[in-house]
Amino acid sequence: MGIDGYVLAGLLPAIAGDLEVSAAAAGQLVSVFALTSALAAPVLGTITSRWERRTTIALSLAVFVLGNLVVGLAPNYATALGGRVMAALGGALLNAAVTGYVIALAPPQHRGKALSFVLGGWMTATALGVPVGLALGQSSWRFPMILVAVVGTIALAGIMLKLPRLHLPAGTLAERLRPLGQPRLLAGLLVTTGILCSSYTCFTYATLIFAPTFRLDWMIIVIMFGYGVASMLGNAVTGRLTDRFTPLRVLTVVLIGLLLNSVLGMVAFLTVPLAVTTVTGLVWFFAAGVGNGGAAVPQQARLAALAPNSAAIVMALNGSAISLGSALGSGLGGVSLAAGTSPYGLLGIAAVILAITLTLHVLVARTRT
């Protein structure tokens, strides 16, 4: 799922050329996946709540695999868009089912570690899976979609053979959405959405941002690999810092760092000579990777502390908040580019989003009820 979520961002020019659409329209293949996931996760999670968990995980993964095959074989943009919706429906249910499975099996004192392990799969996908996908994508952007389907099929076989069966208590949609009735928790979830929105506003169109300075395809692959490693580093460092300090303090520092990085990165792109941006651009991108990867653990811990008796539901809602932020970010970036904003201007948009997010985070921290 991590490869599927990230790899298309590095192939937008190739997708746009093959499907005869603009790069901004190609970026909506990322947006529609994320938006569908955000809206479908709580609904599908409720509909299938009475199902045995291994069956649910296997079925959702099968739909996810089929959706990627449709995208990989799509003759036109509309078919590819439909395939992304199908993959998102499977992915949304898969995400919710896996999260619930992990929380149910892990002892309370080890839930954070278990969830971080699952999150590590996304980080590994960014560092390793995406560069491999991009390398395959140099021949055809369709190959990474086929790769995801093949890997997903192997995972499906492993799940059917090895994953123990598990039944969990059924829940209603009202129960799943009840935490949203707490203004403080809702605002906390919107912080997640803001972080991902700012990230995907730039990440989805990273190939366009770096196009003037890194013209060769293999350079983009190396840059994406570096971003993934930076994300893994941020995740590891803030995981330790969250145990040593409070999630609130760690998240505050991360958000301030991301905001400053976006502002300074935009200034550097717009003012320094092109030769110098080869260095400053990489500094901005990798620093963003550290911050975006590092925000996940303290934010999850913060949300769990806000609703300690609804951890499973809150984590599922946080997954929807992540998908919603990804969809809004890639969609906003595409609309901005279509309206004439330069790729460098996306950093300024991300900075505005981060400023709003940081303000909301401070308000949540100061509110006690």
**CB-based contact 298:256 (threshold 8 Å):** no
* Measured distance CA(143)–CA(3) in Å, rounded: 12
**3 vs 321, residue with greater confidence:** 321
Place of tokens 């004439």: 340
Indicate if the pLDDT at residue 276 is higher than 70: yes
Indicate if the pLDDT at residue 216 is higher than 90: no
> What does the mean pLDDT of the chain come to?
85
Confidence of residue 361 (pLDDT cuts 50, 70, 90): very high
**CB-based contact 10:281 (threshold 8 Å):** no
**305 vs 111, residue with greater confidence:** 305
Kindly state the average pLDDT of the residues 234-240: 81
pLDDT for the residue 317: 79
Indicate if the pLDDT at residue 368 is higher than 80: no
pLDDT for the residue 104: 76
* Measured distance CA(321)–CA(316) in Å, rounded: 9
Tell me the pLDDT tens digit for each residue of 218-227: 788 888 888 8
Indicate if the pLDDT at residue 351 is higher than 90: yes
Kindly state the average pLDDT of the residues 198-212: 88
Kindly state the average pLDDT of the residues 294-319: 78
Give the best-scoring range by mean pLDDT among 5-14, 148-157, 315-324. Answer: 148-157
pLDDT for the residue 246: 83
Kindly state the average pLDDT of the residues 72-82: 95
pLDDT for the residue 195: 95
Indicate if the pLDDT at residue 22 is higher than 60: yes
Domains of the chain: residue spans and CATH: 1-168 (1.20.1250.20), 172-368 (1.20.1250.20)
Indicate if the pLDDT at residue 231 is higher than 90: no
Place of tokens 């260095």: 279
pTM of the model: 0.78
Spell out the residues 6+ positions from residue 59 whose beta carbon is closer than 8 angstroms to its own: 93
How far is C-alpha 57 from the chain's CA centre?
Answer: 20
Confidence of residue 135 (pLDDT cuts 50, 70, 90): confident
Indicate if the pLDDT at residue 369 is higher than 60: no
pLDDT for the residue 239: 75
Kindly state the average pLDDT of the residues 183-200: 92
Q: Degrees (nearest 5) of the Cα angle 314, 315, 320?
A: 95
Alpha-carbon distances of 39 from 32, 45, 165, 319, rounded to whole Å = 11, 11, 27, 10
pLDDT for the residue 326: 84
Within 48-124, residue ranges assigned H as helices are 53-73, 77-105, 111-124
Q: Which of 193, 229, 160, 164 is nearest to 353 (CA)?
A: 193
